[in-house]
Amino acid sequence: MADLSINFAGIKAPNPFWLASAPPTNSGYQIMKAFEAGWGGAVWKTLGVPVINVSSRYGAVNYRDTRMMGFNNIELITDRPLADNLREIEEVKKYFPDHAVIASLMVESRAEWEQIIKDVQNAGADGIELNFGCPHGMCERGMGSAVGQEPEVLKTIVEWVKAAANIPVITKLSPNISHIVDPGLAAYQGGTDAISLINTIKSIVGIDLDSYAPYPVVDGKGTNGGYCGPAVKPIAMHMLKDLAQHPEISKVPICGIGGIETWRDVVEFILLGATSVQVCTAVMHYGFGIVREMEAGLRQFMDDKGYNTIYDFTGKALPNITEWKHLNLEHKVVAEINPNTCVGCDLCYIACDDGAHQAIALPTDLTNRVPSIIEENCVGCNLCSLVCPIENCITMVKKDDGTKHSTWAERTDADQVPTTFDDDRAGGKGHFVPKPSDALK
Ligand SMILES: Cc1cc2nc3c(=O)[nH]c(=O)nc-3n(C[C@H](O)[C@H](O)[C@H](O)COP(=O)(O)O)c2cc1C
Ligand code: SF4
Ligand code: SF4
């Protein structure tokens, strides 16, 4: 049977499923309940000088039938006294010595960092996570994402922390930056033992049409929040990839966070180089019990593929993620519709005719509702297969014989790329498009 245990920068845990620092890790009660349910680790709700929170605090993007497709919060770090949190960390470690309890920290001065590190170490925390990500409230006070956006400051604080700590240090990065490698490298150069990402993304999820204030509305006003949940997973995975492909940053383990909800999400983050994951929104939505599906699914995946440990497939997708200029321009796919499963909804026709390449024809015979692909017009863009409501009804079929290979980089070297506005070597030159007046027929 697959062994799910991990050793993350020296922090041992029975599995890679950790709770992210957030409301589900606000108290010892919640963390013990989570460990009982099957979570292998938890990052405590960020500790610091306790704050005062506003009411209300959360907003969401509901997409069609899906509640909380994106989630937004304007909550700050813990509002509970430090002594209470420390006492509960100690208690949790007594009951669960083999689970990972990480103390997330956010303070200002070097002296404060040194003191709080001592406190959480004495309480028995297995590691420290530096919250350089909170994009609301705390950043106005020079902390959180204000640090995550300044690599030099970030590096200095990591150095302070490393000098003071005798347990592993994880630096949690903010995604509110255009080039994640800059803070990632700063954390590595500062001596961090590991990196975790992402924290939340600055956002406005909606405007109330009566008060004209952004959600969540606090007495007629609002502010930007931090966005998370399923909507941010693609951004998190891209940033994870950037760090995991970096020759220096990848020397430290990376914990993936952002939109993780199912075992498949977990596997994808591991394939991109993560060796543990953290979850917040999915637990706030569905509770601690979701870890059972994660564990069963991950085990099944590993058994099916013959992997014994997480490390057997960590980063396996990375060699396949390259720059656009190295993609094979000779590869050719076209759409194919399965007439046996098509329900004749015409969504593919509408999408292709209005939004793509006019490569789908409606049936002329009224007894048959299945559209047809005009193969010579199809550029293989995928749009029709993405809009089709029937799983696998439209598939993309390979048409090249695999013998030819040329990339933009190779063509550039061979002086075979378009260089004028009317260059014959352009991909769309001579490609069919209807006459403008055909639109009026
Ligand atoms: C309500 C709320 C409070 C949060 N508080 C913290 C916090 O105190 N410290 C921290 O590092 N991250 C905090 N986060 C960010 C999460 O730890 C996590 O990085 C983010 O939500 C992305 O993960 P998710 O998509 O699984 O929610 C908070 C998130 C939410 C939704
Ligand atoms: S793959 Fe693109 S171009 Fe081809 S039929 Fe579908 S939508 Fe049209
Ligand atoms: S979108 Fe799918 S189901 Fe609808 S007509 Fe096209 S192929 Fe058929």
| Number of the ligand closest to the Cα of 352 | 2
pLDDT confidence band for 365 (50 / 70 / 90):
confident
Distance (Å) from CA 62 to ligand 2 centroid = 29
User: pLDDT value at position 50?
Assistant: 86
Closest residue by Cα to residue 276 from 6, 2, 1, 36: 6
The pTM of the full predicted model, rounded to 2 decimals, is: 0.96
Active site residue 139: no
Ligand 2 atom nearest the C-alpha of 335 is 1
Q: Is the pLDDT of residue 133 over 80?
A: no
Residue percentage of the chain with pLDDT more than 90: 92
Average pLDDT over residues 207-211: 96
pLDDT tens per residue across span 47-92: 998 889 999 999 999 999 999 999 999 999 999 999 999 999 999 9
What size, in residues, is the chain? 441
Residue 112: CA count within 13 A, CB half-sphere: 11
Out of 357, 393, 397, 398, give the residue to mutate to test ligand 2, the one with the largest number of ligand atoms within 8 Å of its CB.
357
Q: Is the pLDDT of residue 4 over 80?
A: yes
Out of 338, 346, 393, give the residue to mutate to test ligand 3, the one with the largest number of ligand atoms within 8 Å of its CB.
393
384 CB less than 6 Å from ligand 2?
Answer: yes
Average pLDDT over residues 182-195: 98
158 CB less than 6 Å from ligand 1?
Answer: no
Dihedral angle computed from the Cα positions of residues 286, 36, 45 and 165, in that order, rounded to the nearest 10 degrees: -150
Cβ(40)–Cβ(13) below 8 Å: yes
Distance (Å) from CA 132 to ligand 1 centroid = 12
Residue percentage of the chain with pLDDT more than 70: 100
Residue of minimum CA distance from atom 2 in ligand 3:
388
74 CB less than 6 Å from ligand 1?
Answer: no
Average pLDDT over residues 322-332: 97
User: pLDDT value at position 412?
Assistant: 97
Q: Is the pLDDT of residue 134 over 80?
A: no
Q: Is the pLDDT of residue 146 over 90?
A: no
137 CB less than 6 Å from ligand 1?
Answer: no
Closest residue by Cα to residue 358 from 371, 344, 370: 371
Q: Where are the domains of the chain?
A: 6-320, 324-418
Closest residue by Cα to residue 358 from 340, 383, 333, 388: 383
103 CB less than 6 Å from ligand 1?
Answer: no
Q: Is the peptide bond prior to 437 cis by the omega test (within 30 degrees of 0)?
A: no
- Higher pLDDT among residues 347 and 441, named by residue: 347
Which tokens hold the place of 416? 């075979």
pLDDT confidence band for 26 (50 / 70 / 90):
very high
Query: What gap in Å lies between CA 162 and CA 82, rounded to an integer?
Result: 21
Which tokens hold the place of 289? 């019990």
User: pLDDT value at position 143?
Assistant: 78
Closest residue by Cα to residue 278 from 167, 201, 196, 200: 196
Amino acid at 185: L
Residue of minimum CA distance from atom 6 in ligand 2:
384
Which tokens hold the place of 17? 């499923």
pLDDT confidence band for 14 (50 / 70 / 90):
very high
Instruction: Return the CATH architecture of domain 6-320.
Output: Alpha-Beta Barrel (3.20)
Give the three-class secondary structure for 334.
Answer: strand
356 CB less than 6 Å from ligand 2?
Answer: yes
Query: What gap in Å lies between CA 153 and CA 303, rounded to an integer?
Result: 45
User: pLDDT value at position 167?
Assistant: 98
Residues 6+ apart with CB under 8 A from 272: 237, 240, 241, 244, 256, 315, 317, 318
Q: Is the pLDDT of residue 431 over 90?
A: no
Q: Which helix (H) or strand (E) covers residue 150, if one does? A: none
DSSP secondary structure string for all residues of 22-58: SGGGSSHHHHHHHHHHT--EEEEEEESS-----S--E
Mean pLDDT (the chain, rounded): 96
| Number of the ligand closest to the Cα of 235 | 1
Ligand 2 atom nearest the C-alpha of 379 is 3
Q: CB within 6 Å of ligand 3 — which residues?
A: 337, 342-348, 371, 388, 390, 393-394
Backbone angles phi, psi at 138, to 5 degrees: -65, -30
pLDDT confidence band for 329 (50 / 70 / 90):
very high
Query: What gap in Å lies between CA 431 and CA 102, rounded to an integer?
Result: 58
User: pLDDT value at position 93?
Assistant: 98
Instruction: Return the CATH architecture of domain 324-418.
Output: 2-Layer Sandwich (3.30)
